[in-house]
Structure 1
Amino acid sequence: MNASAPAPRAQPAPRITVVVLSRNHVRQTVDTVARLTALPEAPRVIVADNGSGDATISLLGSLFPQVRIIQGLRDLGTAGFNRAIALVSTDYVACCDDSTWWAPGALARAVQLLDANPQVAVLNARVVGDDEREIHPGCLMLGATSPGADGLPGPALANYMAGACILRTRVFRAVGGYEERLAAGAAEELAALDVLSAGHSIVYCEQALAHRQPLTRWFTRAQHCALARNSAWVAWMRLPVRDALRATGHALAVFARQHSLGPAGFSLFRGAFWTLSRRRVVPPEVALLTRQVRRAERNVRTGIPAMAEKPDRSGQRAW
């Protein structure tokens, strides 16, 4: 060995880990993991499997021995992220599902933004199709209903997309992760309220670019009802009574439209004791934020431009 040859430069430890949530989509998962392991940021990759019955586990293990696989015994929905994030040793964790992957450089830029803005706990990605021209409708809604930036590195949000976000790991753990009983939807809605209540911010980040195929998916009648029911449960767990009543009325209207008012309504009220036993009302400014965003969502759906409210006299934003 040549003594004068320079020693190889040690690679810096990654600052971010990617967690992929998967269930019975072996081809999509393999393609997504292949893209993620080829990223220039070289993030650690963990696959959180939600009880797949296909060849996902065995094929991933043979193709990607460097990827850690957390195998679940059943479908926990969004809560499937919890066990994987509990093992993360990096400051930040980027979450995606098996149809979503991060663009080269997006994670590095997200780390820079989170380092520079310690008050931000969650970055919601800009999710696009293959050609980057078509944007996920959920991102369009989040951007259209934001009350503004106000010193943040992007539009402030009251919610985020669990399958396309970058989280500050310690904050996610501090709020307790995702609630397993909300497996059918709205688990991130509850987590977002807890993040905001703890004094952190959620931001829509254009530079955190993620791709998804297919860009959207259709919901079944049961999924529509379950999501509306869970959102009402979240409202009773965290929001003032007037907001919880409004969310309940919305859920009942969804049940009626889906011709499931009896069964879905019974399911909603059967969970009343559970939700009320976990009731912890958010601070007034968080409740105001959620009201303003809900109002903006209604305006967007009816074609009225969403407008941010003016600051109050104390200099604080009146969400």
Structure 2
Amino acid sequence: MPDVTIVVATRDRAAELRRSLARHTAPVIVVDNASEDDTAEVAEEAGARLVRLPRNHGAAARNVGVRMATTRYVAFADDDSWWAPGALERAVAVMDAHPRTALVAARVLVGERQRLEPVSELMARSPLGRPDDLPGRAILGFLACSALVRRDAFLAAGGFSETLHFAGEEELLALDLAAAGWGLAYLPELVVHHHPSPHRPDSRLRRRREARNRLLTAWLRRPLPVFVRAALTSLASRDGRGGLADAARAWPQVADARRPVPPEVERARAGLDAY
């Protein structure tokens, strides 16, 4: 086995979890976000290490799994995704050869037809180039289900935000890793399969949550004019206005946590806005 642990955060999707656990090729830690179905039984039957949380922590549940892992690297998977055979071994070898890299993102193929995930297509065209000390194109965002991280770097950066909870939670972590001097890279030769669960949140609710988290991330890490523009842009759509209202309700949790990224990281992030 490669020096990697797979961490899966899940909630009330036992059927999907049963299917995906059978396909993993490395030790798995399942972090259960207070499920009310038979998730725990499914995880235990598959031989995964199980952590049952008393409430739903959203994406931050992954942090619990990372802290429990004892391997140098941690790969994330959703309850409806899995890494292709050989991908983790290749990812570990790449990370070993590139010590400044904190995270590599794989190419995501969706469903039985293996359609390329649009976010993977965007990462493949990242305008940030390919620095000599990174194994692929530099990125400042990723899909959590396709990421392998250097455990120590992830923990030092604080992991996923409890406040953001879920939907678009990856950008804040990407910015924090980059601010700490780490590199993030997209490697299309690594493959993750994603078979989206039919039991997914309403798309409008997700768009509203994504709008909320974009605003909170902009406040936490980006210059004030960027935050103001994001807030004004939110007024143009119903989902954006809902996200703005939700961000205002979360304000007490983030008001004093603002820590803008260094200028070089902001320049790179602004370049993505202009792309």
Match of 2:22 in 1: 34
State percent identity of aligned pairs.
33
Counterparts in 2 of 1:85-104, with a 5 A limit?
85-104=66-85
Q: Which amino acid aligns with 2:259?
A: R
**CA 1:219–1:123 in 2, change beyond 3 Å: closer, same or farther?**
farther
Distance in 2 of aligned mates of 1:160 and 1:179: 15
SS in 2 for 1:24: coil
**CA 1:268–1:131 in 2, change beyond 3 Å: closer, same or farther?**
closer
Q: Which amino acid aligns with 1:60?
A: A
Is structure 2 residue 4 aligned with structure 1 residue 16? yes
Q: Which amino acid aligns with 1:108?
A: E
Q: Is this contact kept in 2: 1:114–1:120, CA < 8 A?
A: yes
Structure 1: segments with no counterpart, 5+ residues: 1-12, 297-319
Per-residue CA distance 1:184-205 (angstroms, 9 max, x = gap):
3232211111100000011111
Counterparts in 2 of 1:1-319, with a 5 A limit?
14-36=2-24, 39=25, 43-61=26-44, 63-64=45-46, 66-129=47-110, 133-151=114-132, 152-214=134-196, 219-253=202-236, 256-258=237-239, 261=241, 264-296=243-275
How high is the TM-score relative to the length of structure 2? 0.92
Distance in 2 of aligned mates of 1:266 and 1:189: 20
Per-residue CA distance 1:149-187 (angstroms, 9 max, x = gap):
122211110111112200000001001111111113232
Distance in 2 of aligned mates of 1:182 and 1:89: 26
Aligned residues: 273
Per-residue CA distance 1:245-270 (angstroms, 9 max, x = gap):
222223333xx333x73x54333223
Per-residue CA distance 1:120-158 (angstroms, 9 max, x = gap):
101111111356752111111222234211222111101
Distance in 1 of aligned mates of 2:248 and 2:214: 13
Q: Is this contact kept in 2: 1:136–1:215, CA < 8 A?
A: no
Distance in 1 of aligned mates of 2:244 and 2:215: 11
Distance in 2 of aligned mates of 1:273 and 1:240: 19
Deviation at 1:88, TM superposition (A): 0.8
SS in 2 for 1:182: coil
Q: Is this contact kept in 2: 1:128–1:215, CA < 8 A?
A: no
Distance in 1 of aligned mates of 2:253 and 2:12: 31
Q: Which amino acid aligns with 1:154?
A: G
Deviation at 1:241, TM superposition (A): 1.2
**CA 1:72–1:273 in 2, change beyond 3 Å: closer, same or farther?**
closer
Deviation at 1:227, TM superposition (A): 1.2
Distance in 2 of aligned mates of 1:101 and 1:78: 17
Q: Which amino acid aligns with 2:51?
A: I
Q: Is this contact kept in 1: 2:17–2:42, CA < 8 A?
A: no
Per-residue CA distance 1:203-223 (angstroms, 9 max, x = gap):
111122110103997753222
Q: Which runs of 4+ in 1 moved over 6 A?
A: 215-218
Distance in 2 of aligned mates of 1:59 and 1:100: 16
Q: Which amino acid aligns with 1:271?
A: A
Structure 2: segments with no counterpart, 5+ residues: none
**CA 1:267–1:257 in 2, change beyond 3 Å: closer, same or farther?**
closer
SS in 2 for 1:163: helix
